[in-house]
Amino acid sequence: MDGWRDFVAGTVGGASPVSTYTCILLSKICWTSQSSYHISPGFSGKLLDYPFDTVKVLLQTQNSIKSPITSSPLASEKDAMMNKSKIKQRPPVVYRGAIHCLTHTIRTRGFFSLYSGLPSPLLGSMAENAVLFLSYGQVKRLLGERPGHELSLFQLCMAGGVAGGIVSFVLNPFEVIKVQMQVLNSAALDGSRARYNSVLDCVIQTVRNEGIVKGLYRGQTSLLLREIPGNICWYGVYEGVCMSHIPEGGSKRDLGMSVHLLGGAAAGVAYWTAFYPADTVGSQIRSNPTYSSRGFVNVFLEIYRREGVVGLYRGWGITAARAAPSHALIFAMYEYTLGFLGD
């Protein structure tokens, strides 16, 4: 069976987002120069990538907390007067944008607050991509892919959508824990919000208080609505770029690493653009007790009424920007590993 190759290559791809800059930085801060060689490239990549994911979640959830406007770092005396007289009805905008969110969080909560919940996505990224590429490969074979018979771009897109639906059930528990740990460090937190000492403590409390299904699978609908169209576009764009560069009479094996990097970068942006509002709604449902028992459509419409389209797409820019290099390396390492294992 070829499935094990997809599984292994997907695991390597999921752990691969890393840059030379990160390796150099890590080698400088390690206790010894030799210790840096024992750090997994994928894990060091997450060290660079994860703070931007935290910023995305904080931007998405900033207006969901019922806090007085004077608690906002943007609040002024005039704003406070308007809040008291109830003239200002919209919730306070805590952050002006991604850069302000990043600098404000570091200033008020410390640099390492950006890494809250890091173990969850470290494990989740490898599990997600292993299952995703395994499912994608199996669905392609079910659709009739075999040596000498390539699938159409439409069939590849559909295989990606099915794989995305499957992987959402693996990914959601990691997303729940990650988002809850990240939002704990927001300057806009409600003082009554539960505090977790660690990722494990967060898992234990979530399961104890809400159960596995209601706790760890909160926001599953939003994740399905993100993963299915997202992976249709993810694989569709990647495979489309590859097809457009295959020489006449050649095959995908003839492509160089640069094509895989280009296709992966374009795919990463397409994935997050496909239905980004689903991720915003999911972050709200997973982090805000007010929304935890409400449905996707209900929360979607409330965010739209309160903040408009801007509220649904808050954090998209920084997410798409970080996705390009990260996803480029995921696909490049996936293809390289397949070739190494003997595709």
Q: Which domain holds residue 38?
A: 3-341
The residue whose two tokens read 């409400």 is 294
Rounded Cα distance between 286 and 284, Å, is 6
Long-range contacts of 137-146 (CB under 8 A, 24+ apart): 137/2, 137/3, 137/5, 137/6, 138/3, 138/6, 139/163, 141/2
Number of domains present in the structure of the chain? 1
Q: Check if the beta carbon of residue 187 is closer than 8 Å to that of residue 74.
A: no
| CATH assignment at residue 297 | 1.50.40.10
Amino acid 14: pLDDT: 53
Q: 146 in helix, strand or coil?
A: strand
Q: Which two tokens stand for residue 183?
A: 């939002």
pLDDT tens-place values along the chain, 343 residues long:
566 666 665 555 555 554 333 443 343 433 333 333 333 334 444 556 778 888 888 888 876 544 333 333 333 444 434 444 443 444 555 788 888 888 888 888 888 778 777 777 777 777 888 889 899 999 999 999 988 888 999 999 999 999 999 999 999 999 999 888 877 645 444 444 546 778 888 899 889 989 999 999 999 999 999 999 999 999 999 999 999 999 888 888 889 999 999 999 999 999 999 999 999 999 999 988 788 889 999 999 999 999 999 999 999 999 999 899 889 988 988 888 887 777 5
What is the structure's pLDDT at 74?
Answer: 38
Strand partners for 149: 146
8 A C-beta contact, residue 296 and residue 255: no
